[in-house]
Chain A
Amino acid sequence: MRFIPWLLVAALASVPLWMTDYYYLHVLIVTGIFIIAAMSLNLLLGYTGQLSLGHVAFFGIGAYTSALISLGFKVHIAPDTVVGLSPKPVWFAMLCAVFVTGIVGYGIGKLSFRVRGAYFVIVSLSFVSVVQLIALNWVELTQGAMALNSIPPLTLGFGEYTISFLRKPQFFYLMLSAAVLSYIIIARLVNSRAGRAMIALRENESLATSLGIDVTRYLVLATVVSAAIAGLAGALYTHYIRIVDPNIFLFIYTVTMIIMVVTGGKGTLAGPIVGGVVFGVVPEVLRAMKIAPEMQWIVYGVLMIAIVYFLPQGIVPAVRRAFASHRSVFAGSSTLIEKAEEQ
């Protein structure tokens, strides 16, 4: 069972070798980037149980930070004071993006300790609006609605041995490595003492604190890691699309991430990936079926409602349960008898 994830990675790694249609490769890359963001959201929503409607803020801040540091900028912070930065290498810009979003996550995490539940939802929503307004109106820094253009792609190495992640097959591997790295970080975290503390906080906060668990610490930890990974996804996105405008903060992106997490199964490691694949690929399948665009959206919506209605826990937990009962019917009817006796 342990090697199945690696088989999956190997299968995915082979995709650029046989998929010659760059359009489909593009769809997979964008879906992959959103799956990384959804995985980060799952750490917060699925494991600590905090609903953030502002998750796209981390994604957007990562995108803008990486774009600005790789392009360089000059801003007046007072009439005579100019702060500027010359263009830096893209790998450095991306690391900065991860770092900056991590710090922003720290602030939000500290805040979320004071405001919980519905209040946190409102604060997170307002946070996105504020960041979006800054992106739109601080024209000197962000070019506002005119967008930051010609963002350089990532290049690694020296001289002859330079790889540029400009073309789609190369970028696919970059996305895949980032996704695998994010998955490993999240998986190790949630299967550890820290992850158990997060789950304890989600399920019964008073009980968790009475057991000596510092819930603030683990809530902040989850937010920092979640924000940094979302920032990484944003940075990948910006150097792939190579243009970033304030529309990156649109509410629909947060909703997309939440849909991926919830339909796939929040609080499971595979959930955001399954949900991401379903809702990244379904629109393309519908488009390929050549039905009217309006119908495509209706089918998309109906499918989403159907999943939430029939599988309220999400796809992954439902499949797991189906497998478990399947196994007990064929392999050991004794377990069923035991269960019957218990009841």
Chain B
Amino acid sequence: MTSQDDIVLSIEHVAVRFGGLLAIADMTFSVREGEIVGLIGPNGAGKTTAFNVFTGFLRATSGTVRYRSTILNGLKPHEISRLGLVRTFQRTSVFQDNTVFGNVMIGLHTRGRSSLWDTLLGTRRERESEQELMNAAQEILQFVGLEHRATTLAANLAYGEQRLLGLALALAAKPSMLLLDEPVSGMNAAETARFVTLVEKIRDAGTTILLVEHDMQMVMKVSDRVVVLNYGRIIAEGPPAQIQNDPEVIRAYLGQRKKRA
């Protein structure tokens, strides 16, 4: 284990309870700077719930979530996003009635420099800020490879392209750490391969990544470390090769052979 200093996201004894249902029992793990960590587990293991807690969409019943030096418990989603911890959603999540370019412009919101008065008076700062945002939007679209779709309505994009646009939106919010919720579900092999290269590029540019994914091949290929969740508990943690042979993990995914009486 490396020193405590380079830990970016740390989850300490987090539990989430919905009435009588224990969605997350006791979760403790951390993500280090520049890592790609895969969070896996069977359906209903609590992966998306965990994401919702980290990003402020759900309150943890107990425990603390810490991002760099800030405790995230009680912060609103937009406040957490502004700290640099940005997520994508499991379902395709884009602004359907806007063009691809318009979507990224919305995503660039926090990078704008103009105040309300600049907007109402149409000042030079307003025009400069808008120009900067447009250039940034262009760059992001080129990065994810959607520049040829700039003027298409998001609703008219193919499924895989919508997922890419979801990623572009998250990138527009200038993340220092990205949480990807099942980013390649529904993508074909070629699209997945391209997505993996993108994720690696994003990490190489200095962004830490935590991803939830069911495509095991993808997770094992891209992750530096894998955390396995089952029934709201962490049952294993380690490098992909080790996780693949962990008996506990195999049991969680395939079930246990019935013991003879």
Contact = CB atoms under 8 A, between A and B. Distances in A.
A206 B92 CA distance: 12
Interface in A170-198: 185, 188-189, 192-194, 196-197
Contacts of A284: none
Q: Chain B, interface size: which category?
A: 35 or more
B126 interface: yes
A343 to B, nearest CB: 9
Interface residues of A, number: 24
A211 interface: yes
Interface in A192-248: 192-194, 196-197, 199-200, 203-204, 206-215, 221
A132 B47 CA distance: 51
Interface in B38-58: 55, 57
A210 B55 CA distance: 8
A207 B95 CA distance: 8
A192 B57 CA distance: 27
Contact of B109 (A185, A188, A189, A193): A193
Contact of A199 (B95, B130, B133): B95
Contacts of B95: 199-200, 203-204, 207
B60 to A, nearest CB: 18
Contacts of B97: 199, 203
B206 interface: no
A284 B52 CA distance: 56
Contacts of B87: 210
B78 A196 contact: no
Contacts of B107: 211
Interface of A: 185, 188-189, 192-194, 196-197, 199-200, 203-204, 206-215, 221, 342
Interface of B: 55, 57, 76-78, 81-82, 86-89, 93-98, 102, 105-107, 109-110, 112, 114, 116, 119-120, 122, 126, 129-130, 133, 156, 169-170, 172-173
Given A210-B87, A215-B78, 9 more contacts: A188-B120, A193-B114, A200-B109, A203-B96, A203-B98, A204-B95, A207-B94, A211-B169, A221-B116
